[in-house]
Homo-oligomer: A and B are copies of this chain.
Amino acid sequence: MYEGFSREQLLRRRLDIEKKYNGFKELNLKLDMSRGKPSDEQLSLSNGIFDNVSDLTAEGGIDCRNYGVVDGLIEMKRLFAEILGVSPDEVIAGDGSSLKMMYDAIARSFNHGIMGNTPWSKLKKVKFLCPSPGYDRHFFICELFKIEMITIPMNDDGPDMDVVEAIAGEDESVKGIWCTPMYSNPTGVIYSDEVVKRFAKMKTKAEDFRIFWDNAYVVHHLYEENKLLNILDECKKAGNPDRVFMFTSTSKISFAGAGVAAMAASRGNMEYIKKQLAAQTIGPNKINQLLHVRFFKDLNGIKAHMKKHAELLRPKFEAVLDILDRNLGNLNIASWTRPKGGYFISFNTQKGCAKELVARAREAGVSFTAAGATYPYGIDPDDKNIRIAPSYPPLAELKMAMEIFCTCVELVTLRKIL
């Protein structure tokens, strides 16, 4: 930290940084860096979805305006099957929220049980493995269901599989794990082939252990296409075909508030889930599904569209990294990821600085995701991780926000060490 600085130099630097910080405060800004929302320009890429509404008849003559088709249109399932590398009959296409589908899958496991196993509500204890830093909304679901969360360290190639295997292999109350395997939220990690294979092969004490495979950023590359091994294939090869529940959505492909979400799993799982789903609903919004398929057509259409997203996102990610490098690159007081896709940059301060940093940034008019949010129960044991979401603000605002952020990093660090 601050190698080569004398104490006097550091004290002077703190004075400079405090002056700079107060200057920012006087600007009375109000910048939001807290959520991974697409920008107006990104959303506008999909405005053409509504261009073709004169006839709302889907394959097989299905009138999308009327009731029915509990698991979604076949053409929508086919498109998700292409995206996820599964078969259309392993897919359920729903309404817009994949988070809701995950919540539903957990709720069904509690109320009705998975494939004939004891409903989790009848068990004394249910635990989930939570690779962290991870996605706060996964953890909120666990909190609501009083599922005990066990933090799993994240490595550069995915969750620490030694720990995962040890715990899942021994404890029958461990029923699942949350994974964002592609451009992980917030670290940007892509799970390695070995990690995926170990997930597929590992022994689990609980027969109804499920990997909640939230493939939210499956086609969300910033540069060239990166590959993720297909976990359903690997699970089948390993003789554990029913182990994984896959999820994805078009939230960050089309409209974050009005896309289409999907769940995929083995036919064994699907048989049970579809039976239960038939009591839950008469069907999802098929008009929205039809309009999506008409607009994107197939996986190639999706890929071409995601290139346009990347063109809008890349300058923002690069601006953030550039400002971090320029301001903090030589100080050795923080570290951050350089993701190749997804929506976040994961930033680590010195221990015990993250909360203070978010508070100081807020005081200067820039809101970040609450420190700790990326850990179970909102408690980062080292109080060092902050999630940076570059997508939403216009570039000029983003740059300003990051300059303020860097100033706050120094401010908090200098105050702490001096």
Nearest B residue to A290 via CB reads B258
Pair A103/B43 contact, Cβ less than 8 Å: no
Chain B residues with CB below 8 A from A68, complex form: 257
State whether the Cβ of A145 lies closer than 8 Å to any Cβ in chain B. yes
Which of these binds chain B: A104-112, A330-338, A401-409? Answer: A104-112
Chain B residues with CB below 8 A from A257, complex form: 63-69, 282-283, 285-287
State whether the Cβ of A223 lies closer than 8 Å to any Cβ in chain B. no
Of the candidates B35, B100, B103, which one forms a contact with A67 in the assembled complex, judged by CB atoms under 8 Å apart?
Answer: B35
Chain B residues with CB below 8 A from A43, complex form: 63, 65-66
Distance between A128 CB and nearest chain B CB, rounded to angstroms: 14
Alpha-carbon distance between A215 and B312 when the two chains are bound, in angstroms: 46
Nearest B residue to A40 via CB reads B63
Count, chain A residues at interface, CB 8 A: 52
Chain B residues with CB below 8 A from A6, complex form: none
Distance between A93 CB and nearest chain B CB, rounded to angstroms: 13
Distance between A237 CB and nearest chain B CB, rounded to angstroms: 34
Nearest B residue to A291 via CB reads B50
Pair A284/B96 contact, Cβ less than 8 Å: yes
Alpha-carbon distance between A121 and B283 when the two chains are bound, in angstroms: 26
Q: Which of A47, A50, A103, A257 has most B Cβ within 10 Å?
A: A257
Alpha-carbon distance between A288 and B49 when the two chains are bound, in angstroms: 13
Chain B residues with CB below 8 A from A228, complex form: none
1/0 contact string of A23-40 vs chain B (CB within 8 Å): 000000000000101101
1/0 contact string of A250-287 vs chain B (CB within 8 Å): 01000111100000000000000000101111111111
1/0 contact string of A49-71 vs chain B (CB within 8 Å): 01001000000000111111100
Chain B residues with CB below 8 A from A229, complex form: none
Pair A258/B285 contact, Cβ less than 8 Å: yes
Pair A66/B50 contact, Cβ less than 8 Å: no
Of the candidates B145, B282, B284, which one forms a contact with A111 in the assembled complex, judged by CB atoms under 8 Å apart?
Answer: B145
Pair A255/B65 contact, Cβ less than 8 Å: yes
Pair A67/B256 contact, Cβ less than 8 Å: yes
Which of these binds chain B: A136-144, A192-200, A348-356, A370-378? Answer: A136-144
Pair B282/A258 contact, Cβ less than 8 Å: no
Distance between A36 CB and nearest chain B CB, rounded to angstroms: 9
State whether the Cβ of A95 lies closer than 8 Å to any Cβ in chain B. yes
Of the candidates B137, B143, B281, B286, which one forms a contact with A100 in the assembled complex, judged by CB atoms under 8 Å apart?
Answer: B281
Distance between A168 CB and nearest chain B CB, rounded to angstroms: 23
Pair B96/A285 contact, Cβ less than 8 Å: yes
Distance between A112 CB and nearest chain B CB, rounded to angstroms: 6
Of the candidates B122, B141, B256, B284, which one forms a contact with A65 in the assembled complex, judged by CB atoms under 8 Å apart?
Answer: B256
State whether the Cβ of A97 lies closer than 8 Å to any Cβ in chain B. yes
Pair B103/A281 contact, Cβ less than 8 Å: yes
State whether the Cβ of A359 lies closer than 8 Å to any Cβ in chain B. no
Distance between A123 CB and nearest chain B CB, rounded to angstroms: 11
Query: Could you list some 22 contacts between A and B, CB below 8 A?
Result: A37-B67, A43-B63, A50-B50, A65-B257, A65-B258, A96-B284, A99-B282, A100-B281, A103-B280, A111-B111, A111-B121, A119-B121, A121-B121, A121-B122, A140-B279, A141-B279, A143-B279, A257-B283, A257-B285, A258-B285, A258-B286, A258-B287
18 extra interface residue pairs, beta carbon distance < 8 Å, beyond A64-B257, A67-B257, A112-B144 = A43-B65, A50-B53, A65-B258, A67-B251, A67-B256, A95-B95, A95-B96, A95-B284, A97-B281, A99-B280, A99-B281, A103-B279, A103-B281, A111-B121, A121-B121, A140-B279, A144-B279, A258-B286
